[in-house]
Structure 1
Amino acid sequence: MKPAAFRYHAPRTEEEALAILAAVAPEDGRILAGGQSLMPTMAFRMARPAHLVDINGVAAFGLLAAEGGVLRIGPCVRHAMLGAPLVGGPLGALLGTVRRHIAHLPIRTRGTFCGSLAHADPASEWCLVSATLGAEMVLRSVGGTRRVAAAEFFQGIMTTALAADEMLVEARLPLLAEGTRSGFYEFSRRPGDFAQAMAIATFTLDGGVMSAPRLGLGGVEDRPCRLPAAEAMLDGQPPSAALFAAVAAAALPGLVPMTDDPHRLRLAETAIIRALSRAAGLPE
């Protein structure tokens, strides 16, 4: 199939883009950056926006910089740019690991980080990264700017706090402290398929025990989530296979899977254990 008819707009500045979006939002106007989620739904006519606002000509939207303890990511930064050599340190290492699990090379080359967040697919790797690390989203419209924490930004399956006339103009990921260990595990039926369960774990080791642990789970519930009770079980403890198994088992009763598939909780348990094991350097 082919997309339904739409009007194409190509602003050259952020102000122009916001003004156009404000005008076309009542007619389901959409932002086009990478288009790797939007264009397939348009091709199947599952989405029929009357207007597309192509922001690729806005130079400022290519922002990718580490400043003030955060990594600032503009709406035209591609998946392939996240990780070495453009992003260094422990955060760059984590992003580089996660990036390899996103779909296929053409999508990683064209798709954008902020576009993935705005689409809010529960199986999105970047949504999980943002929720786990406590990212902040900068939302802007002609009416002003507001900042929204990841925990409030993701509101359900492909549902966010973005208003129709707002644009996600920047995502801010906290930089990880030197020495931070990280682990990521994802299960999908085939390479490039949507994740059925995935987990991220980060912590530092001080005197042989874990500190500042973060643990997030995605692909299971209708949005990515941190697991604070599990983090509390990890804090101050030495890493071990027995502890990780206990943490994963304790996390399961509080989960509300998107489907009643009994295997999804098993996959969640495995994902948590393997992410923690990879962060600790333990055998899986």
Structure 2
Amino acid sequence: MSLDRNYNIKVDIRTGAVFFNQIKYYANDINVNNLIIKFTDSGDDFNLTGSTIVCNIRKPNDLKSMEQVNIVDAINGICELQFSPVTINVEGTCKAEFIISRDGDITTTDTFRFKVLRSIDSEIDGSIVDTDNYHVLVKLIDTVRDLDTDVRINEKTRQDNEQVRIDQEQARQRSIANMQNTVNSKVTEVNSAKDNMISGVNEKLAEVDTAKNTMVNDVTNKINETNATIDSFENRFNALAPDQATNAEVQLARTDAEGVTHNSLYERLLKAETQGMIYWETVEG
């Protein structure tokens, strides 16, 4: 007769739900702690051909263990799992889940729980009897248990501190990213302002060039108009005076009665008028 302690559970591959009654094992049991697992798909048998199944367990001391699940009837979805002594060695409630993989697909079931109990002699050798050595061993076991508790507390503290460090590093990285985004934004604003300024200067230069060209054209037009007026005046003057006698007559008109030739006819007439007034004043005076 087998000493196996078998518990039957059912897993719905579609929803991940795990159906089971209370499961309990003893820490000192060896090779008898078994699970018989039935995989279904919405109530129908699920074919596990080509599948690989493992069971992840978190023990009461927060350490993790992984067990391989044996497929005994792939077509009908029946498997068996025998927990190793290293998994069933800590008193308390264990949490477990199944992970099924096939053809690159992976799915995880809901978490289920089972209890690990400690028997009276689970932590001592069966050959030890009630002697002084027994009490010493019990004290040693208690000391080891206390040390294990301290180790777990220290490990938990380390994990918490590590998480704090990770959170701080992530916050620092976010801060650096925000600063970089701010700098990039400011650089973009400066470049945009620079481009706008250059565009404005170019527009002003274009306006100055246009105004300059307009002014040059206006001056050129005025010069051309002046030259045309001069040419017209010369043409009219030449048309009024005889071609051969003009220079001689003008020069003769600039010469006064005393034989003095003035620079212009105006000087000649001014002298004559001035002398006439002087003569008149002398006579009258």
TM-score, reference length from structure 1? 0.21
TM-score, reference length from structure 2? 0.21
